[in-house]
């Protein structure tokens, strides 16, 4: 969306990502999603009187991995307490990092070539999860509030961008690229629907070159779509407000997904004074060079690099190939696709099957070996399987495992050999002389007619491409 | 009551049993607890079970720890599984911790028998045990007087021979001052020497658990048991327990001991006289005495009353009525939080929460909390310089002997001044201990305070032992 009258959006994003550690940030409780409420809890993550936090070193590993991937400077850092009352925060303060975060500075390059600066990426603990029953679904006016502390103390990294983003589409691209990096570093599973990645957007508008306008912060955007819609709504709201003679108030706003609009949560005057001070129960966090080097050397390629590697394997890529490439890298199937290309599979087939069928069966991807993937694609390429059949075979393997050839024969997908296909085509030519002569004169539509006839005779077991090859050979 | 060391020896030799010693302690508690209000909860069932476990181990020929069968009293801010723990506050009334503080696991492993939970100033905020929501504890030496605080109950338990030893916590003097007022040995160890895991926090950067005992040896025994690294406390020192008992008779010959003017100026004459007699005793034992002035110590009280309340305002936020303890229902969550805290906290706790909240607030942080942190750094530097002049320092523990109930309750500042000599070591993180030496007004005990650099406990105990002998206590 572009704003009217040359208005320009200025956007900065704060992205919270849950870290994929085995245990929580300051205790030994399991860090898993979806357990029964209040089962992964202990005195520490419940903030019981007398309990003390002990930092999970693996959370530091992952935070540093994120920092390294974002070209940040890793420095000696400290923890602070952020004090405010909320029922899902058991200590009524959150342990976070304040003036000395573990990662400072850095940048993220987007696929369109733009660069967004990173201000910081710091460690903090997650809160529990509240459910408010009755009323508006928010805490005010609720009949009852239920709290699940399983999430309390789950490690988070908050990644704060500079105010460098100029459109909602760029914001979306930033969030998407960042998500890819979080997955690639092993820091996060990137499951936005499970709350693994949550975003706040700071939005203001100005005329290009003018000083920054007053910003509003939109809280808790949980999908790329919400992010983009919320920013568009908010920017337009600000432009219209200014256009009608009003002024933007600095405030925190809530995004209502159903109504598609933002509304005031609290104004700057109502903002909490968090009374940050050094967390006296923790010591300084100063990862030495050896620790940093160990994390640096264990990091694999980031998505941008992997896209470049895969792109280099494509000659004159089509736009659908490029779209598939994005998906394939995003889902981590690029190594599989490259193996297939190495095995002389047509890149278009490899990309398409990975971006569609493998994506659909991603939860069971472990049951598909590289060999089976390549074998199935080879059968399709050689005409032993139709495209539809190849897709069915892949999905079947993803569900139940197995070898493509066995699965194909169990499904009754044995194709005619080219000999028997040739005989069938020859027979049809004699049976439909008019159609054949029109085809020979260049009416390509008749190819579909002959394919249909072949399918009828073979109960759909033939491969359309092979039929065309037979027809063309006799033309 | 016999010493902890004697009881443990007799239990181990079979001359007595842990259960018999526990019953003696229970009887002593029963005799005076109504009058003195020492224990908030007497864990008769748990104590007898723990005692029988020790006796069973002995009869099975299994090893028992150095405190086998020794009754120990615990300040009510240490979490003990299934045992009511209130920190002296209404807001935790009825709460049963689901876990043990590390110190409780350690005294149990040493064979000691936890007898119950002792009264204290609410959340350890006070110097007389008068701020307890459950009424004040009386000083067994003169029931018209306070036992000191905040660990007044743990001091009174030992002073009244209910238990030979007890545990307290010291944030600004809460072990040493009641030890002085009750005629006991009381130790504030080096910060990090004893795990704080399971200690209900008042001011996390200052809190430290330590022992009360009637004599230096018992205090050393108990401190050896509870100290040493704990992975559950990030501020726990990495080293193992110090060896104290083996060094009790090291003496002070050749040591330089600094008499610090700021650690006795303004005290009552009887207190100052005791300090001077103690100095003479140390000199007689071969120490060199140097007179020192450390003016920075005068800033300690002001810095402390910003730093401790600031941390407390955050530490006590969790008592919000949501998860445990008191809840006063109201129309919505914020109103419930407010009603609960209004009803659950006493006046002194509220005063300190407000003070601390203010000190940390935007626009005031630099002038108050930030400034106090700078003073704290100066204090640490000043002590470091002093320890280049002297191995240990000496002064008074408290400005006066035990005072009457109500004497300071109307004037918080007068009460705060009770800790003027003890607070600086908490700010520095250094160890200090109070040892009874002589008597003052009305024959009441006076405590002198020995201070040392971090991890100097063995030297402090040896010097304390010299004073104990000189005072005719053994």
Q: With an 8 Å Cβ cutoff, are B235 and A283 in contact?
A: yes
Torsions phi, psi of A268, nearest 5? -60, -40
- On average, the pLDDT of chain A sits at 92
pLDDT tens-place values along chain B, 474 residues long: 799 999 999 999 999 999 999 999 999 999 999 999 999 999 999 999 999 999 999 999 999 999 999 999 999 999 999 999 999 999 999 999 999 999 999 999 999 999 999 999 999 999 999 999 999 999 999 999 999 999 999 999 999 999 999 999 999 999 999 999 999 999 999 999 999 999 999 999 999 999 999 999 999 999 999 999 999 999 999 999 999 999 999 999 999 999 999 999 999 999 999 999 999 999 999 999 999 999 999 999 999 999 999 999 999 999 999 999 999 999 888 999 999 999 999 999 999 999 999 999 999 999 999 999 999 999 999 999 999 999 999 999 999 999 999 998 888 888 888 899 999 999 999 999 999 999 999 999 999 999 999 999 999 999 999 999 999 987
Q: pLDDT band at A417, cuts 50/70/90? A: low
Judge whether residue A330 has pLDDT over 90: no
Q: Please give, rounded to a whole number of angstroms, the shortest distance from the CA of B359 to a CA of chain A.
A: 9
| Triad A274, A100, A50: Cα angle to 5° | 55
A49 to chain B: nearest residue by CA?
B200
Dist. CA B427–CA B422, nearest whole Å: 9
Do A281 and B314 make contact, defined as CB atoms within 8 angstroms?
no
Token reading at A118: 């990173």
B241 carries an active-site annotation: no
**Beta carbons within 8 Å of B449's beta carbon, 6+ residues apart:** B176, B180, B263, B394, B395, B396, B397, B421, B422, B432, B433, B434, B435
Structural contact between residues B311 and B203, judged by C-beta atoms closer than 8 angstroms: yes
Q: Which of B360, B372, B374 to mutate to test the interface with A (most CBs of A within 10 A)?
A: B360
Tens-digit pLDDT profile for residues A27-80: 999 999 999 999 999 999 999 999 999 999 999 999 999 999 999 999 999 999
Model confidence at A414: pLDDT above 70: no
Q: What is the CATH code for B4-240? A: 3.90.1300.10
Annotation marks residue B75 as catalytic: yes
| Model confidence pLDDT, tens digit, residues A73-104 | 999 999 999 999 999 999 999 999 999 999 99
Nearest-neighbour CA in chain B from A49: distance (Å): 5
Contact A49 B197 (CB under 8 A): no
Distance from CA of A37 to the nearest CA of B (A): 14
Mean pLDDT of all residues in A202-211: 95
User: Residue A433's CB: how many other CB atoms inside 10 A?
Assistant: 9
- Looking at the DSSP assignment, which residues form a beta bridge with residue B256? B288
Q: Across the interface, do A48 and B324 touch by the CB < 8 Å criterion?
A: yes
pLDDT of residue A409: 84
The first and second tokens of residue B52, run together, are 């029988």
Token code pair at residue B257: 């001991």
A5 Cα to chain B: minimum distance (Å): 40
Looking at beta carbons, which residues of chain A come within 8 Å of B318?
Answer: 47, 49, 90-92
Interface test with A, best of B320, B339, B354, B366 (most A CBs within 10 A): B320
Determine, for residues B234 and A282 on separate chains, whether the beta-carbon distance falls below 8 Å.
Answer: yes
Question: Among B27, B31, B117, B34, which residue's Cα sits nearest to residue B72?
Answer: B117
* Domain boundaries, given as residue ranges, for chain A: 4-297, 301-410, 418-474
Q: Is A98 on the interface with B (CB under 8 A)?
A: no
Question: B220 Cβ partners below 8 Å, 6+ apart?
Answer: B244, B245, B248, B461
Supply the pLDDT for residue A245: 96
Band (A459; pLDDT cuts 50, 70, 90): confident
Are B468 and B474 spatial neighbours (Cβ–Cβ below 8 Å)? yes
pLDDT of residue A146 exceeding 80: yes
User: What tokens appear for B194 in the block?
Assistant: 């004893």
Q: Would you place residue A384 in the very low, low, confident or very high pLDDT band (cuts 50, 70, 90)?
A: confident
Of B98, B233, B333, the CB nearest to A139: B333
pLDDT of residue A139: 75
Query: What would the pLDDT profile of A249-286 be if each residue is shown by its tens digit?
Result: 999 999 999 999 999 998 888 788 999 999 999 999 99
Residue of chain A whose alpha carbon sits nearest to that of B331: A141
A275 touches chain B (CB under 8 A): yes
φ, ψ for residue B128, nearest 5 deg: -150, 0
> Quick check: B410 and B404 in contact, CB under 8 A?
no
Q: Which of B120, B171, B194, B333 is the best residue to mutate to test the A interface, defined by the most A CB atoms within 10 Å of its own CB?
A: B333
| Contact criterion met (CB < 8 Å) for A280 and B357 | no
Answer whether A145 touches B (CB < 8 Å): yes
Residues of A in contact with B362 (CB under 8 A): 273, 275
Active site (annotated) includes residue B474: no
Candidate list B128, B151, B169, B174, residue with the active-site label: B174
Whether residue A420 is predicted with pLDDT greater than 80 in this model: the reply is no
Whether B97 sits inside 8 A of A53 (CB atoms) is: no
Residue A417: phi, psi to the nearest 5?
-65, 165
Q: What is the dihedral of CA B25, B27, B29, B34, to 10 degrees?
A: 180
Tell me the average pLDDT across A282-306. 95
Chain B stretch 84-103, residues whose beta carbon is closer than 8 A to a beta carbon of chain A: 85, 87, 92, 95, 97-99, 101
Give the rounded percent of residues in chain A with a pLDDT score beyond 70. 99
Spans of all domains in chain B: 4-240
pLDDT at residue A276, rounded to an integer: 97
Q: Is B361 on the interface with A (CB under 8 A)?
A: yes
CB pairs under 8 A between A and B: 104
Q: Count CB neighbours of A400 within 10 A.
A: 10
* Residue A471 pLDDT > 80: yes
Alpha carbon distance A182, A149 (integer Å): 25
CATH number of A418-474: 1.10.10
Q: Is B234 on the interface with A (CB under 8 A)?
A: yes
Residue B444 token pair = 């009441």
**What is the model's pLDDT at position A474?**
82
Q: Under a CB-based contact definition with an 8 Å cutoff, are residues B156 and B147 in contact?
A: yes
Rounded to whole angstroms, how far apart are CA atoms B149 and B176? 9
Catalytic residue among B12, B75, B117, B188: B75
What's the length of chain B? 474
pTM: 0.90
Q: Which of A50, A59, A272 to mutate to test the interface with B (most CBs of B within 10 A)?
A: A50
Chain A residue numbers touching B236 (CB-CB < 8 A): none
Query: Does residue A360 belong to the interface with chain B, where contact is any CB pair within 8 Å?
Result: no
């Amino acid at each position: 969306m572009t704003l009217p009258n040359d208005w320009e959006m200025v956007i900065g994003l704060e992205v919270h990502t849950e870290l994929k550690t085995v245990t929580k940030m300051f205790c030994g409780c399991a860090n898993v999603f979806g357990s029964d409420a209040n089962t992964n809890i202990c005195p520490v993550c419940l903030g019981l009187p007398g309990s003390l936090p002990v930092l999970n070193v693996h959370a530091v590993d992952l935070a540093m991995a994120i920092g390294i991937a974002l070209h940040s400077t890793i420095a000696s850092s400290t923890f602070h307490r952020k004090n405010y009352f909320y029922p899902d925060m058991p200590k009524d303060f959150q342990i976070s990092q304040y003036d000395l975060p573990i990662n400072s500075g850095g940048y993220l390059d987007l696929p369109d070539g733009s660069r967004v600066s990173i201000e910081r990426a710091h460690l903090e603990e997650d809160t529990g999860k509240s459910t408010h029953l009755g009323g508006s679904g928010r805490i005010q006016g609720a009949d009852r509030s239920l709290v699940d502390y399983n999430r309390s103390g789950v490690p988070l990294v908050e990644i704060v961008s500079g105010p460098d983003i100029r459109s909602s589409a760029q914001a979306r691209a930033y969030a998407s690229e960042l998500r890819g990096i979080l997955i690639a570093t092993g820091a996060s599973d990137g499951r936005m629907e499970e709350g693994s990645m949550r975003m706040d957007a700071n939005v203001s508008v100005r005329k290009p070159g003018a000083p920054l306008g007053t910003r509003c912060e939109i809280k808790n955007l949980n999908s790329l779509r919400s992010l983009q819609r919320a920013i568009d709504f908010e920017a337009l709201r600000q432009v219209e407000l200014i256009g009608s003679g009003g002024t933007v108030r600095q405030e925190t706003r809530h995004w209502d997904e159903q109504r598609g609009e933002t509304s005031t949560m609290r104004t700057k005057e109502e903002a909490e004074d968090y009374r940050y001070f050094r967390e006296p129960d923790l010591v300084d966090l100063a990862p030495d060079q050896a620790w940093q080097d160990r994390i640096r050397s264990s990091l694999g390629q980031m998505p941008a690099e992997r896209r470049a590697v895969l792109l280099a394997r494509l000659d004159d890529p089509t736009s659908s190939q490029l779209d598939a490439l994005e998906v394939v890298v995003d889902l981590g199937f690029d190594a599989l696709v490259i193996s297939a290309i190495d095995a002389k599979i047509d890149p278009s087939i490899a990309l398409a099957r990975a971006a569609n069928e493998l994506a659909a069966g991603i939860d069971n991807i472990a049951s598909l070996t590289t060999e089976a993937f390549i074998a199935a694609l080879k059968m399709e390429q050689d005409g032993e399987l139709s495209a539809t059949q190849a897709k069915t075979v892949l999905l079947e393997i993803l569900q139940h495992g197995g070898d493509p050839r066995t699965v194909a024969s169990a499904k009754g997908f044995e194709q005619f050999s080219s000999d028997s296909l040739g005989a069938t085509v020859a027979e049809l030519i004699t049976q439909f002389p008019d159609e054949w002569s029109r085809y020979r004169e260049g009416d390509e539509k008749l190819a579909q007619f002959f394919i249909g006839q072949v399918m009828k005779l073979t109960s759909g077991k033939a491969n359309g491409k092979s039929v065309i090859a037979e027809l063309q050979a006799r033309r | 009551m016999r010493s902890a060391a004697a009881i443990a020896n007799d239990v181990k030799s079979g001359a007595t049993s842990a259960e018999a010693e526990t019953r003696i302690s229970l009887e002593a508690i029963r005799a005076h607890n109504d009058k003195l209000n020492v224990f908030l909860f007497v864990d008769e069932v748990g104590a007898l079970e723990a005692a029988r476990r020790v006796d069973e181990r002995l009869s099975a020929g299994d090893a028992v720890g150095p405190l086998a069968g020794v009754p120990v009293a615990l300040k009510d801010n240490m979490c003990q599984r299934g045992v009511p723990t209130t920190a002296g506050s209404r807001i935790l009334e009825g709460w049963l911790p689901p876990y043990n503080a590390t110190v409780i696991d350690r005294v149990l492993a040493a064979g000691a028998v936890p007898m119950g939970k002792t009264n204290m100033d609410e959340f350890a905020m006070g110097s007389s045990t008068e701020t307890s929501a459950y009424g004040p504890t009386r000083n067994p030496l003169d029931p018209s007087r306070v036992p000191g605080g905040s660990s007044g109950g743990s001091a009174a338990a030992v002073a009244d021979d209910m238990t030979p030893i007890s545990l307290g916590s010291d944030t600004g003097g809460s072990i040493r001052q009641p030890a002085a007022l009750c005629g006991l040995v009381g130790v504030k160890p080096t910060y990090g020497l004893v795990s704080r895991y399971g200690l209900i926090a008042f001011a996390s950067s200052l809190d430290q658990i330590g022992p009360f005992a009637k004599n230096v040896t018992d205090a050393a025994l108990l401190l050896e048991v509870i100290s040493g690294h704990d992975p559950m406390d990030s501020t726990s020192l990495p080293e193992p327990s110090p060896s104290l008992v083996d060094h009790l008779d090291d003496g002070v010959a050749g040591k330089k001991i600094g008499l610090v003017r700021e650690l006795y100026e303004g005290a009552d004459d009887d207190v100052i006289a005791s300090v001077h007699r103690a100095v003479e005793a140390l000199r007689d034992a071969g120490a060199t005495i140097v007179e020192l002035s450390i003016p920075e110590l005068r800033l300690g009280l002001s810095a402390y009353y910003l730093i401790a309340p600031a941390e407390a305002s955050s530490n006590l936020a969790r008592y919000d009525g949501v998860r445990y303890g008191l809840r006063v229902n109201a129309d919505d969550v914020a109103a419930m939080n407010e009603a609960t805290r209004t009803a659950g906290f006493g006046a002194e706790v509220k005063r300190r929460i407000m003070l601390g909240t203010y000190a940390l607030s935007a626009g005031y942080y630099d002038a108050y909390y930030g400034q106090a942190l700078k003073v704290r750094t100066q204090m640490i530097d000043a002590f470091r310089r002093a320890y280049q002049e002297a191995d240990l320092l000496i002064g008074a523990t408290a400005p006066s002997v035990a005072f009457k109930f109500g004497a300071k309750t109307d004037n918080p500042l007068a009460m705060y001044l009770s800790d003027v000599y003890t607070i600086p070591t908490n700010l520095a993180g250094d160890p200090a201990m109070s040892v009874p030496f002589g008597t003052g007004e009305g024959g009441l005990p006076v405590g002198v305070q020995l201070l040392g650099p971090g991890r100097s406990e063995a030297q402090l105990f040896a010097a304390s032992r010299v004073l104990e002998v000189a005072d005719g206590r053994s």
